[in-house]
Amino acid sequence: MNYLGKRNLKEDIRYFDNLAKCRVYCSNCGHSIILATRDRTICSNCGLWVYKDEKTRFKYELKKEMIKNGK
């Protein structure tokens, strides 16, 4: 970025490509959500948890079941 704060086309393309890599879709309503640094967030459209991948979903659901069963 130069001193005026303007980006050139190459930097814009790189920025939007990185945003596209961080985008996940809600399994309930299909709303797109950007998860750059978090593992999960609540969908602003339907209110359900959206996870970055299936491994993360499994980890949180297993933790919830362990707490529920008292282990």
Residue 2 lies in a domain: no
Domain that holds residue 59: 9-68
Q: What is the pLDDT of residues 1-53, one digit of tens each?
A: 555 567 788 888 888 898 899 999 999 999 999 998 899 999 999 999 999 99
The DSSP line for 1-70 is: --TT----HHHHHHHHHHHHHTEEE-TTT--EEE-SS-SEEE-TTT--EEESSHHHHHHHHHHHHHHHTT
Question: Which pLDDT score is estimated for 8?
Answer: 84
Residue 1 lies in a domain: no
Task: Tell me how many domains the chain contains.
Answer: 1
- pTM > 0.75: yes or no: no
Question: Which pLDDT score is estimated for 48?
Answer: 95
Residue 62 lies in a domain: yes
Residue 48 lies in a domain: yes
